[in-house]
Amino acid sequence: MSEEIKPRILKINVLRFDPNDKNDFPHIETFEVEEADGMTLYIALNEIREHNDNSLMFDFVCRAGICGSCSMLVDGRPTLACRTLTSKLGESITLAPLPLFKLIKDLSIYSGEWMRGLNERLETWIHDKEEELNFDKLEERMEPELADEIYELDRCVECGCCVAGCGTIQMKPDFVGAVGLNKIARYHLDPRDKRDDEEYYELIGNEDGVFGCMTLLGCEDVCPKDLPLQSKIAYLRRMMIKTALKN
Ligand code: SF4
Ligand code: F3S
Ligand code: FES
């Protein structure tokens, strides 16, 4: 007779804090959850909210690694909770909110404010420089290989994991991080964007941009979309140096 394998009882330690409650202070609370087949941290957190404490706050929208809202520190590593299987973790799991972003409560952060500021600062949209919009104009043709390269970088979900995993941002809060550099590489590659190299130099040819990166490599290690962040940072460095030498 085959023996039934008992499911693991997970101990989920959550760093909890409500910055809007004057009487609250950061503290760890531990919840026990019976592990189920294929359980993700998303499912485990919902179990806790349903059965243990409905005041526990965390963010999820898509549950499929697309919206980037469920990023948190899992055993100290920034990652997407909806894509993390509990079976890949030990019995005791520690969850904390991503650092650097505004804390809403518990595991819920307001990364959208930071990302919006970054997008405004780097003007992450196509600059075609035409004075008047012409809806009859056909879009310029693009080689499929180039379209694929741009698409690869567009897969960034603005989860903030690379920001939380970068020691440079801890020291230089205005550093645009790998997420910002990835966006600039994406627009620089795009032939529809008519900004010239000098304009890109103005944007990121400085210590808050590409020359601030200390090649710590944490960004690429933790990016849940496996973006080629290092090669794009190197690409931008080469482009910046060429531009500086021209002037
Ligand atoms: Fe997240 Fe990767 Fe985009 Fe950084 S580059 S925000 S880690 S998807
Ligand atoms: Fe930070 Fe990545 Fe550069 S971790 S220092 S942006 S290589
Ligand atoms: Fe959307 Fe996790 S819930 S990425």
Is the CB of residue 119 less than 8 Å from the CB of residue 75? no
**Do 160 and 71 form a contact (C-beta atoms < 8 A)?**
yes
Ligand 1 centroid distance, CA of 3 (Å):
44
Task: Classify 112-246 by CATH class.
Answer: mainly alpha
Domain residue spans of the chain: 9-109, 112-246
Which of 230, 226, 224, 211 lies closest to 81 in space, CA to CA?
A: 224
For 9-109, CATH gives 3.10.20.30
Ligand 2 centroid to Cα of residue 151, in Å, is 22
Q: What is the pLDDT of residues 155-168, one digit of tens each?
A: 999 999 999 999 99
What's the pLDDT at 1?
56
- pLDDT tens for 102-158 read 999 999 999 999 999 999 999 999 998 776 677 787 778 899 999 999 999 999 999
pTM reported for the whole predicted model: 0.93
User: Residue 155 CA: which ligand 1 atom is closest?
Assistant: 8
Is 112-246 in the same CATH topology as 9-109?
no
The stretches of 190-228 forming alpha helices (DSSP H) are 197-204, 218-222
Q: Shortest CA distance to 117 belongs to which of 166, 176, 68, 73?
A: 176
Q: Is the beta carbon of 178 within 6 A of some atom in ligand 2?
A: yes
Stretches in the chain below the pLDDT threshold 50: none
